[in-house]
Chain A
Amino acid sequence: MSSRPAEVFDLGYRGYEGERTGRWARRDAIWRDGIRISLGLGRGVGAKVAPWLLLALALVPMVVLVVVAAFVGPATNPDDFELPSYADYYGWAMVPLALFAAVVAPLLICPDRSDRVLSLYAARPITPLDYVGARWAAFATVALAAAWAPEAVLFTWNVLDAEHPGSFLRDNWEVVPRFLAAGALVATVLTTLALLVSSFATRRAYASVAMLAVIFIGSAIGGIAEDNFSGGAADAVSLVGLPQATTDAVRWIFDDEVDRPVSGGVALLWLLGLTIVLAAWLVRRTNRLVRG
Chain B
Amino acid sequence: MALLRAHELTKTFGSVRALDGVSFEIDEGITGLLGSNGAGKSTSLKLFLGLLDPDSGSAEVLGQEARNSPEVRTRIGYGPEHDCLPRNVSAAEFLAYMARISGLPRTAARLRASDVLRHVGLFEERYRPMETYSTGMKQRVKLAQALVHDPVIAFLDEPTAGLDPLGRREMLELIRRVGGEFGISIVISTHLMGDVERACDSVVVLDAGRLLRSGPVSGFTEETETLEVELLEGAEAVVAALRGRGLEPTVGTAGRRLTLEGVSGEDYDTLRDVIVDAGALLYRLAPARHSLADVFTSDADPATEEASS
How many residues of chain A have a CB within 8 Å of chain B? 37
Residue of chain B at shortest CB distance from A114: B87
Instruction: State whether the Cβ of B181 lies closer than 8 Å to any Cβ in chain A.
Output: yes
> Which of B70, B84, B93, B105 contacts A116, CB < 8 Å?
B84
Once bound together, how far apart are the Cα atoms of A123 and B98, in whole Å? Answer: 10
Contacts of A12 in B (CB 8 A): 181
Contacts of B93 in A (CB 8 A): 42
Contacts of A265 in B (CB 8 A): none
**Cross-chain contact B83 with A25 (CB below 8 angstroms):** no
Instruction: State whether the Cβ of A45 lies closer than 8 Å to any Cβ in chain B.
Output: no
Contacts of A22 in B (CB 8 A): 103
Residue of A33, A42, A43, A115 with most chain B CB atoms under a 10 A cut-off:
A115
Residue of chain A at shortest CB distance from B73: A125
Contacts of A21 in B (CB 8 A): 100, 103-105
Mask: chain A, 250-292; 1 = CB below 8 Å from B; 0 = not: 0000000000000000000000000000000000000000011
| Total of A-B residue pairs, C-beta within 8 Å | 99
Instruction: State whether the Cβ of B60 lies closer than 8 Å to any Cβ in chain A.
Output: no
Once bound together, how far apart are the Cα atoms of A190 and B149, in whole Å? Answer: 36
**Cross-chain contact A115 with B86 (CB below 8 angstroms):** yes
Once bound together, how far apart are the Cα atoms of A2 and B80, in whole Å? Answer: 49
Mask: chain A, 106-144; 1 = CB below 8 Å from B; 0 = not: 000001100111011111111100000000000000000
Instruction: State whether the Cβ of B150 lies closer than 8 Å to any Cβ in chain A.
Output: yes
- Which residues of chain B from 75 to 106 have a CB within 8 Å of any chain A CB? 76-78, 80, 82-88, 93, 97-98, 100-106
Contacts of B106 in A (CB 8 A): 29
Contacts of A126 in B (CB 8 A): 70, 101
Instruction: State whether the Cβ of A20 lies closer than 8 Å to any Cβ in chain B.
Output: yes
Residue of chain B at shortest CB distance from A121: B101
Instruction: State whether the Cβ of A71 lies closer than 8 Å to any Cβ in chain B.
Output: no
Residue of B72, B85, B150, B183 with most chain A CB atoms under a 10 A cut-off:
B150
Nearest CB on A from B23, distance (A) = 24
> Which of B98, B115, B119 contacts A124, CB < 8 Å?
B98
Instruction: State whether the Cβ of A164 lies closer than 8 Å to any Cβ in chain B.
Output: no
Nearest CB on B from A196, distance (A) = 22
Contacts of A116 in B (CB 8 A): 80, 82-84
Once bound together, how far apart are the Cα atoms of A206 and B210, in whole Å? Answer: 43
Contacts of B112 in A (CB 8 A): 16
Instruction: State whether the Cβ of B74 lies closer than 8 Å to any Cβ in chain A.
Output: yes
**Cross-chain contact B105 with A30 (CB below 8 angstroms):** no
**Cross-chain contact B49 with A25 (CB below 8 angstroms):** no
**Cross-chain contact B84 with A16 (CB below 8 angstroms):** no
**Cross-chain contact B100 with A26 (CB below 8 angstroms):** yes
**Cross-chain contact A125 with B97 (CB below 8 angstroms):** no
Once bound together, how far apart are the Cα atoms of A199 and B143, in whole Å? Answer: 28
**Cross-chain contact B70 with A291 (CB below 8 angstroms):** no
**Cross-chain contact A120 with B84 (CB below 8 angstroms):** yes
Once bound together, how far apart are the Cα atoms of A120 and B147, in whole Å? Answer: 12
**Cross-chain contact B97 with A26 (CB below 8 angstroms):** no
Once bound together, how far apart are the Cα atoms of A87 and B67, in whole Å? Answer: 48
**Cross-chain contact A117 with B105 (CB below 8 angstroms):** no
Contacts of A122 in B (CB 8 A): 49, 51
Residue of chain A at shortest CB distance from B53: A291
> Which of A29, A111, A292 contacts B101, CB < 8 Å?
A29
Instruction: State whether the Cβ of A19 lies closer than 8 Å to any Cβ in chain B.
Output: yes
Contacts of A121 in B (CB 8 A): 101
> Which of B71, B73, B88 contacts A123, CB < 8 Å?
B73
Nearest CB on A from B41, distance (A) = 15
**Cross-chain contact B84 with A13 (CB below 8 angstroms):** no
- A16-B149, A123-B76 are known contacts. Are A117 and B70 too (CB-CB below 8 A)? no
Instruction: State whether the Cβ of A14 lies closer than 8 Å to any Cβ in chain B.
Output: yes
> Which of A13, A30, A125, A292 contacts B51, CB < 8 Å?
A292
**Cross-chain contact B86 with A117 (CB below 8 angstroms):** yes
> Which of A19, A112, A125 contacts B105, CB < 8 Å?
A19
Instruction: State whether the Cβ of B108 lies closer than 8 Å to any Cβ in chain A.
Output: yes
- A16-B104, A111-B86 are known contacts. Are A125 and B80 too (CB-CB below 8 A)? no
Once bound together, how far apart are the Cα atoms of A197 and B100, in whole Å? Answer: 28
Contacts of B115 in A (CB 8 A): 14
Instruction: State whether the Cβ of B133 lies closer than 8 Å to any Cβ in chain A.
Output: no
Nearest CB on B from A161, distance (A) = 44
Once bound together, how far apart are the Cα atoms of A120 and B155, in whole Å? Answer: 12
Residue of A14, A29, A117 with most chain B CB atoms under a 10 A cut-off:
A29
Nearest CB on B from A16, distance (A) = 4
Instruction: State whether the Cβ of A18 lies closer than 8 Å to any Cβ in chain B.
Output: yes
A-B contact pairs, 30 of them (CB 8 A): A12-B181, A16-B112, A18-B105, A20-B104, A21-B103, A21-B104, A21-B105, A26-B101, A29-B97, A29-B100, A29-B101, A115-B86, A116-B82, A116-B83, A116-B84, A119-B78, A119-B82, A120-B80, A122-B49, A122-B51, A123-B76, A123-B77, A123-B78, A123-B155, A124-B73, A125-B73, A125-B101, A125-B102, A125-B103, A127-B70
A contact set with B: CB distance below 8 Å: 11-16, 18-23, 25-26, 29-30, 33, 42-44, 47, 111-112, 115-117, 119-127, 291-292
B contact set with A: CB distance below 8 Å: 46, 49, 51-52, 70-74, 76-78, 80, 82-88, 93, 97-98, 100-106, 108, 112, 115, 118-119, 145, 149-150, 155, 181-183
A112-B86, A124-B73 given; 18 more Cβ-contact pairs under 8 Å:
A13-B182, A16-B149, A18-B105, A19-B105, A21-B103, A26-B103, A43-B88, A111-B87, A115-B87, A116-B84, A117-B85, A120-B80, A120-B98, A122-B49, A125-B72, A125-B73, A125-B103, A126-B101
